Amino acid sequence: MHYTVMKEESIKGLNLKESGVYVDATLGYAGDSSEILKRVKKGFLFAFDQDSEAIQWSDNVLKQIGNNYEIIKSNFLYMKEELLSRNISGVDGILFDLGVSSPQLDTDYRGFSFHKDAKLDMRMDLSNELSARDVVNNYDEKHLADIIFRYGEEKYAKSIAKNIVKARSVKPIETTLELVDIIKHSMPYKDTITHHPARRTFQAIRIEVNHELDILEESLEKALSMLNVGGRMVVITFHSLEEKITKEVFKKYTDIPHIVKGLPNIPEEYLPNYVIIGKQITPTEEELSLNNRSRSAKLRVIERIK
Nearest-5° Cα angle at 232, 207 to 226: 75
Helix segments in the chain, DSSP class H:
7-14, 31-39, 52-62, 79-84, 102-106, 132-138, 141-152, 157-168, 176-184, 199-210, 212-225, 240-254, 285-290
Give pTM, 2 decimals. 0.85
Predicted pLDDT at 109: 59
Q: What is the mean pLDDT of residues 267-277?
A: 91
Helix (H) or strand (E) holding 44: strand 44-49
Q: What is the mean pLDDT of residues 212-235?
A: 96
Predicted pLDDT at 236: 96
pLDDT digits (tens, 9 = 90+) for 174-221: 999 999 999 999 999 988 888 889 999 999 999 999 898 989 999 999
* DSSP category for residue 130: -
CA–CA distance, 248 with 153 (Å, rounded to integer): 19
Helix (H) or strand (E) holding 234: strand 227-237
Look at 264 and 17; give whichever has higher pLDDT: 17
Is residue 289 very low, low, confident or very high in pLDDT (cuts 50, 70, 90)?
Answer: confident
Please tell us whether the domain made up of 109-210 is placed in CATH 2.140.10.10.
Answer: no
Domain with CATH 3.40.50.150 in the chain: 7-97+213-304
Predicted pLDDT at 107: 57
Predicted pLDDT at 106: 52
For residue 134, CA distances in Å to 5, 175, 236, 288 come to 31, 12, 29, 35
Three-class SS of residue 294? helix
Is residue 1 very low, low, confident or very high in pLDDT (cuts 50, 70, 90)?
Answer: very low
Domain with CATH 1.10.150.170 in the chain: 109-210
Q: What is the mean pLDDT of the chain?
A: 91
Predicted pLDDT at 105: 53
CA–CA distance, 33 with 138 (Å, rounded to integer): 38
Is residue 49 very low, low, confident or very high in pLDDT (cuts 50, 70, 90)?
Answer: very high
CA–CA distance, 21 with 30 (Å, rounded to integer): 17
Gyration radius of the chain over CA positions? 21
Helix (H) or strand (E) holding 272: none
pLDDT digits (tens, 9 = 90+) for 50-92: 888 889 999 999 999 999 999 999 999 999 999 999 999 999 9
The CATH class for the domain spanning 7-97+213-304 reads alpha beta
Residue 96 has pLDDT above 90, yes or no: yes
Predicted pLDDT at 194: 81
